[in-house]
Structure 1
Amino acid sequence: MAAHGKHVGHYIHQNSRIILCNFEQFLVRRNFGWSAAVCQQNAPAPREAAEAIVVPKKKTWSKEAVLQALAATVNRDSTAAHYMFQDDPYLTPRTSAEFKLYSLSQESGRLAAKHIVNTNPKFFQKDFAEPHIPCLMPETMEPRIEDVSEAALLERIMLRKVKAAVDMYDQLLQAGTTVSTDATNDLLDLICLYGDHDPLQDDKPEVEDVDKGRRRKGRPQRAIDLVKIVWRENNNAERIFNLLPERDTRAYSALIRGMVKYGAHVKAFNTYTDMLNNRLTADVHIFNALISAATEVREKYNEKWDLIVELLKQMNEQKVKPNLLTFNAVLKALRRCGSLARAQSLHTLSEMKALGITPSLASFHHVLGIFYKTVSSLQGQTDILQEVLTEVAGRSFVPQDPDDVYFFSTAMRICLETKDLESAYRVHNLLNVGENWRLLGDSFQQSIYYGRFFNLLCMMEHIDVVLKWYNELIPSLFYPNPQGMKDLLQALDTDNRLDMIPQIWKDIRRMGHDNKSDLVEELLSLMARDRHSPEVQESFAACALDVRSLYKQGQVAKVALEWTTASMTNITTILLAAQKTKQAWDMLNIFKTKNRVPSEELIDEFLVRIKDGQQAVELVQISASFCLPSTPNLAQRVLQEFELSEEQRNIVSELEVATHDNE
């Protein structure tokens, strides 16, 4: 019995080891991070070997691992609104204008709430969140240290109070207090970062612009305002830098980068020369800034490139290892170096790979910008694009350079201009790898990218594929502009699917493009051009009447549409084709009201549809009132084809004679 129990125990022990190994192999196949060596380590050993079970080290998961795993099990709902609007479905935008208004309003509300919380932190001390969420707690926005000390200086630097920090630094010097080198360098970093101006706080509006002498209340600072900041002569950064008893590389780095950022390029190079004269070695940030400024201090293309090469040689001499931003600065500068840029850009990419530096999306963005700079350079030049897409295929990227967000829109622009649909699909597939979609940029960049992609689809794809993408992208990812809707109408025309125009018209109205006269007239002309089945003509007529309701006799309440001869003619033709004679007759009255002359073809079309003699007489009268040359022939046809009373015949005959005399 004991022997039997020992045998059963050994059997369970051996099988448990096999089950453990199989489970570990399953984890390996599921990419849970355990290597095959672990399974081999735990494989069943001979009976004479030690039978101790080795427990593998546990896997450390990130806090978002469960959420990421759950998110990977579902796809995006193309019929749902953008995730940023899920909190309030009632206000979900339907047009691009509403999207912009909602987005700005939402961001404005966040900033307003943040301003109230940070301005009155004493009212928001209770923390009900579990676990504690520090980012939701009030921030310290005002200095708390009042005495003159280095701690007060560091506090103002941390709060990004440029003027207050400079004032505290001056007070410390006047009091005879020595400020540490690190604190002084921190102050220099702050001043050079913001150009010797106080930055606009994220939660505060800009109240007044003293430089322009006018008030601007409640308006956030724009990027154009930042561009206007220039490097002033002998500003606080230069003054504090000159007061330093010993100037190290970090101080020079802050000053040079600030000069480059705010346009003092020549002065930056002079400061760099002064640093070399003081027997100091530059850091990689100095070289990156100088490389980006090289194209501003030289005029000729070869001189610009020679200066960049000289800076790279100095990096090598000073044993400064370049980083990704160094090579991206070189590639960006090459975009302004003319014809020599192509060969040198490929050489730069080779140097990056030789040093083990993986190019980012910004690197490839600059390369594409070099090879596809003009429209003429796009013709027959898709090899570089193909090589770039092969290089980045299947890779997931993370933000490493501010210019990373321009790669997808640039690549799609090239695909559109070269009409390369296959490459466009490759670009879009790359966008869907991992979290590459985060590198698409803000809503403006996203609209550019998807607009170009949809435009190319409308030109090159079959209409069924176009409509599939139309339902996939719109409006969950972007709102097409009027040109995008015109492209869709042209795609419907190319594949003879004009029967879908009434449905597209509903989307045009929903997106707020029904006030674009060129788009509306394009739609009307497509419906009026050919004849279709009675069902399609009926839907066209309903659509035309809906369009007519927008005009309001030329005075429109909500949309800016005005009658044109083409729009009136097309609507009338559509109504006549659908046997809507009464509504078409109303359109003739609009012709008279607007002093517009209908075409002779339209009058002939009316005559074919009319079955009443009185209306035929009125048609001749209308034709005569417009002095149409075809009025005599029209009168003769009416006299021959309609049963008229004596009075009606006299009227038509008089009109025929009168028009003959006028001729």
Structure 2
Amino acid sequence: MYSNVLLPRQWSRFACICRYSTAVEGQKLPQCSASSDGISPPPRIRRGPTDILEALAATVGPDPTAAHYKYHDDPYLIPLSNFRKRAYALSAEAGRRAAVWIRDNHAELFNMREWDPPAKMKTPHYNADPRIDAYAPKPIYTSESNRRRPTIHYQQLASGGLAASVPAARGVEGVGGDLRVKFLQLLCFYNEKEADSMEWMEERWFASNIKERQAATWRTGGLAEKIFASIEPKTSEAYCAIIQGMAKYYQAERAHMLAQEAIEKGLVLSTDVYNSLLSCVGFLKEGTTMRTEALKATLAEMHKHGISPNQGTLTACLRSVSAWGGGRALQQLALQLLAEFRQIGIQPGLSAYYYMLCLFCKERGPKVDILSTILADLESRETLTAVEPTDTNFFITAMGVCSDHLQDVNMAERLHTLLMKGDNYKLVGDAYKESIYYRHYVTVACRQAPFEKTTELLDTLVPNVYVPEPTVFEEIIKTLELGGAGARLAAAWSQLVIFGHAKRVRLVERLLQAMCSCYQYQDDEVKAKTRAAAADILSFGQLTDEEIAQKRDQRTPQAQLSAQALTNIIQLCSDVTDKADPSWEAVSEAAQRLRKEAVGVPTDPAALAAAAQATAQKGKPGIAAAVSEAAQRLSKEAVGVPTDPAALAAVPQATAAKGKPGIAAALVMYLAENGFEEATTASASVLGPLLNRTESEVQQLLATPRGSLEESLHPSAAVLLDAYHLATTGVEPSRNARDSSSSDSDSDSSSDDE
């Protein structure tokens, strides 16, 4: 019975081996160009693993509206805010870190796989086809190993840990000279720290906004200096390593002393050593004149010893000059350096041009158009290659110059065309620098470009390529307001919600102001969208009773819409003719919030604090505490008054004519309680349509005492009379009468709505 099972399995295994061998033979191509039958196939072209994909991608070009490849290509999963993009990228990288931890700490799980192809030899850590070394478990080094990681085994070198390679050796003296110099170079390059991993790009990208400290961080008296002291005789390689390490970590004075010591011994220093000395020459001298002389002396010393400069020499010189400040003298020095290096055939790189922009285009300096000359030089080159890490600073700095210094959108478009040419986009840098680049680009386009070109740019970049920050979004709102784009302004509210800016009150209020200014020029469909957006703004962020109770203990109060923003919502949502339109609910809610939150706003809030302090000094701590509590409540609830009360005063008359007397009365009372002169005319203009009386009859009614009209007036009309008397006499009506009138008015208004 078992033979019936084993034979088919063996035959299947044998057939699999045959197919595998046939496939391998079929992939072999003739390596010569001649054959016996006269057919000469072309020689085989070695292809990389991604050559076909790159060829296919070149036929279609990049799609700026598509999400980044590191995000899932699903509209429900693509992050559309800066916070979500950052969280998504870092969480994915955290998952990879967890996988690496499992691989490194449980390497026995990845030794081999039983389901590998039959022809594959079973070897440890050979569990994929093709083999990928980065995914395989790392080898484990023991105490007898010769290869060690720098952070763990620095001290073992000094104590003889590497002496196993030389059996008769003891300590550092047993280590060969070449090995000791290479280890010294490693120590100097990393300053005795663990090298940054090249795997975790997202963490480095989102942490790159931290500026580098230009301070002496070299480990004085550390292992590098001990190994350098143990090398005898000291060679040029040892001096070059220690000097470059000290200069890289800003131990400038000792680096120059060791350089002079090496020169006195007749040792030849490399060009890279002089470049590192030039980059920190400013730490040795004080003042522009002495620093300039030191820079020229170092260049003259290079020429004296026959050391040929390179592109890094020019970059190091300009880096030092740009760090010394500004002024015409330094600018002339930089131009002189640029001209002399060009005479010897050295063209400046992106880093050199970056430092030139830093020197010439100061934030508060005079406007200097050096960028056009730089772009002309870069446009004439076939390709741009990154040589130094600071090369990625050029494009973001140049776009910042276009936006803030030159304010020239044509120059910005020219720079962007250069960035999109060929493979230059990789020079934009990491995700943080890319965001800064587009921030400047969108800002200068909103301020300087035509409206159609700006909207086209926004449709291309937002939101997959770039999510605008609040300051940039405010510039976008201003541009849409000037262009009268009501539909885009209505859609901007949904973008604020998606981008995570909906709780930024200043930005929302700016959007409402733009909606109001453009509203009257729009068609009915756009007006309906604008009203819906305004109503949604009012209802957004409303807290439940439990959430309100939780936030009472927080020290930072929740930001509230100002009285002007509520006025804008009332203006927008009251422009309807249908009495049953849902927009009236937003108008009623906004009117209630106006009277609840913005009544009795002090003209001088600082006077309350002064009164509390004076009361406490007079021995009345209880009263002082009450005044202080009132000031705190006012700071949390009072949200100002409308900047244009005339616009709010025009709403009640139209609201009463559309069958909403309760809302009209509440708005007029709000104007009267805050002392606006418009309350007098507003109350008179609303009473006429409400009571169906002429103007003379309304004036006679206003002159009649309030008590004799208590039971004969509509509740909303009674509130209007109270508002009129409050606006004209300044005497507030009795609290009981106001409360009953308000409740009657509200109930009457609700019955009218029904």
TM range (shorter): 0.7 to 0.9
Identity of aligned residues (%): 24
Task: Return 289-298 or 643-652, whichever deviates more.
Answer: 643-652
1:569 Cα deviation after fit? 1.2
Seen in structure 2, the aligned counterparts of structure 1 residues 445 and 161 have a Cα distance that, compared at 3 Å, is: farther
1:311 paired residue number: 298
Letter paired with 2:394: F
Counterparts in 2 of 1:140-289, with a 5 A limit? Answer: 140=139, 142-144=140-142, 146-147=143-144, 152=146, 155-156=147-148, 161-168=153-160, 174=170, 178-199=174-195, 230-289=217-276
Matched, 1:385 2:371: yes
Q: SS state of the match for residue 335, structure 1?
A: helix
Matched, 1:647 2:713: yes
Match of 1:464 among 443, 452, 462: 452
1:294 paired residue number: 281
1:278 Cα deviation after fit? 1.6
Letter paired with 2:453: V
1:512 Cα deviation after fit? 1.1
Matched, 1:592 2:595: yes
Seen in structure 2, the aligned counterparts of structure 1 residues 222 and 114 have a Cα distance that, compared at 3 Å, is: farther
Matched, 1:113 2:99: yes
1:434 Cα deviation after fit? 1.5
1:572 Cα deviation after fit? 1.1
Tell me, in whole angstroms, the C-alpha distance in 1 between the residues paired with 2:507 and 2:690.
40
Matched, 1:534 2:524: yes
Matched, 1:324 2:311: yes
1:451 Cα deviation after fit? 1.0
Superposed CA deviations along residues 555-605 of structure 1, whole A, max 9, x for unmatched, are 789995412112111111111234544531331111122134563541332
Q: Does the 8 A contact of 2:154 with 2:223 survive in 1?
A: no
1:392 Cα deviation after fit? 0.8
Match of 1:546 among 529, 536, 544: 536
Q: TM-score w.r.t. structure 2 length?
A: 0.71
1:570 paired residue number: 568
Superposed CA deviations along residues 295-342 of structure 1, whole A, max 9, x for unmatched, are 111112122122222222222222222222122111111213443332
Unmatched segments (≥5 aa) in structure 2: 1-37, 113-125, 201-205, 552-556, 578-582, 600-640, 693-710, 732-754
Superposed CA deviations along residues 525-565 of structure 1, whole A, max 9, x for unmatched, are 01123523333322111000111112427978999541211
Match of 2:655 among 585, 595, 609: 609
1:414 paired residue number: 401
1:45 paired residue number: none
2:345 paired residue number: 356
Tell me, in whole angstroms, the C-alpha distance in 2 between the residues paired with 1:162 and 1:224.
29
Please give the root-mean-square deviation of Cα atoms over the aligned residues, in Å. 3.4
Q: Does the 8 A contact of 2:515 with 2:530 survive in 1?
A: yes
Task: Return 548-557 or 559-568, whichever deviates more.
Answer: 548-557
Q: Does the 8 A contact of 1:440 with 1:446 survive in 2?
A: yes
Q: Does the 8 A contact of 2:314 with 2:337 survive in 1?
A: yes
Letter paired with 2:240: S
Tell me, in whole angstroms, the C-alpha distance in 1 between the residues paired with 2:727 and 2:443.
51
Matched, 1:488 2:488: no
Tell me, in whole angstroms, the C-alpha distance in 2 between the residues paired with 1:617 and 1:283.
87
Tell me, in whole angstroms, the C-alpha distance in 2 between the residues paired with 1:351 and 1:650.
89
Q: Does the 8 A contact of 2:156 with 2:162 survive in 1?
A: no
Matched, 1:583 2:586: yes
Tell me, in whole angstroms, the C-alpha distance in 2 between the residues paired with 1:285 and 1:249.
12
Superposed CA deviations along residues 117-158 of structure 1, whole A, max 9, x for unmatched, are 233333223334332222222233x533x34xxx72xx1267
Superposed CA deviations along residues 479-535 of structure 1, whole A, max 9, x for unmatched, are 111122111111112222233211122222111111111111110001123523333
Q: SS state of the match for residue 399, structure 1?
A: coil
Q: SS state of the match for residue 478, structure 1?
A: coil
1:274 Cα deviation after fit? 1.3
1:477 Cα deviation after fit? 1.6
Q: Does the 8 A contact of 1:613 with 1:642 survive in 2?
A: no
1:498 paired residue number: 486
Letter paired with 1:662: G
Tell me, in whole angstroms, the C-alpha distance in 1 between the residues paired with 2:495 and 2:98.
35
Tell me, in whole angstroms, the C-alpha distance in 2 between the residues paired with 1:567 and 1:412.
35
Tell me, in whole angstroms, the C-alpha distance in 2 between the residues paired with 1:604 and 1:281.
87
Letter paired with 1:261: K
Matched, 1:137 2:136: yes
Q: Does the 8 A contact of 1:349 with 1:359 survive in 2?
A: yes
Tell me, in whole angstroms, the C-alpha distance in 1 between the residues paired with 2:493 and 2:172.
76
Superposed CA deviations along residues 316-369 of structure 1, whole A, max 9, x for unmatched, are 222222222122111111213443332332333334334433432112212222
Seen in structure 2, the aligned counterparts of structure 1 residues 175 and 385 have a Cα distance that, compared at 3 Å, is: closer
Seen in structure 2, the aligned counterparts of structure 1 residues 59 and 349 have a Cα distance that, compared at 3 Å, is: farther
Q: SS state of the match for residue 279, structure 1?
A: coil
1:662 paired residue number: 730
Superposed CA deviations along residues 75-123 of structure 1, whole A, max 9, x for unmatched, are 2223321111137765321101001111112222223322332333332
Q: Does the 8 A contact of 1:399 with 1:439 survive in 2?
A: yes
Q: Does the 8 A contact of 1:551 with 1:561 survive in 2?
A: no
Q: Does the 8 A contact of 2:215 with 2:250 survive in 1?
A: no
Q: Does the 8 A contact of 2:318 with 2:356 survive in 1?
A: yes
2:333 paired residue number: 344
Tell me, in whole angstroms, the C-alpha distance in 2 between the residues paired with 1:129 and 1:170.
34
Task: Return 281-290 or 616-625, whichever deviates more.
Answer: 616-625
Tell me, in whole angstroms, the C-alpha distance in 1 between the residues paired with 2:179 and 2:362.
45
Q: Does the 8 A contact of 1:157 with 1:165 survive in 2?
A: no
Equivalent pairs, count = 588
Seen in structure 2, the aligned counterparts of structure 1 residues 660 and 419 have a Cα distance that, compared at 3 Å, is: closer
Seen in structure 2, the aligned counterparts of structure 1 residues 223 and 652 have a Cα distance that, compared at 3 Å, is: closer
Q: SS state of the match for residue 577, structure 1?
A: coil
Q: SS state of the match for residue 280, structure 2?
A: helix
Unmatched segments (≥5 aa) in structure 1: 1-51, 205-218
Q: Does the 8 A contact of 1:551 with 1:562 survive in 2?
A: no
2:386 paired residue number: 399
Letter paired with 1:448: I
2:749 paired residue number: none
Seen in structure 2, the aligned counterparts of structure 1 residues 58 and 316 have a Cα distance that, compared at 3 Å, is: farther
1:56 Cα deviation after fit? 9.3
Tell me, in whole angstroms, the C-alpha distance in 2 between the residues paired with 1:535 and 1:638.
30
Superposed CA deviations along residues 245-278 of structure 1, whole A, max 9, x for unmatched, are 2101111111111211222110111111111122
Task: Return 412-421 or 332-341, whichever deviates more.
Answer: 332-341
1:47 paired residue number: none
Q: SS state of the match for residue 138, structure 2?
A: coil
Task: Return 185-194 or 243-252, whichever deviates more.
Answer: 185-194
Q: Does the 8 A contact of 1:111 with 1:203 survive in 2?
A: no
1:84 paired residue number: 70
Seen in structure 2, the aligned counterparts of structure 1 residues 304 and 590 have a Cα distance that, compared at 3 Å, is: same
Tell me, in whole angstroms, the C-alpha distance in 2 between the residues paired with 1:244 and 1:585.
86
Q: SS state of the match for residue 67, structure 2?
A: coil
1:659 Cα deviation after fit? 4.8
2:505 paired residue number: 517
Q: Does the 8 A contact of 2:591 with 2:667 survive in 1?
A: no
Q: Does the 8 A contact of 1:576 with 1:606 survive in 2?
A: no
Q: Does the 8 A contact of 1:462 with 1:495 survive in 2?
A: no
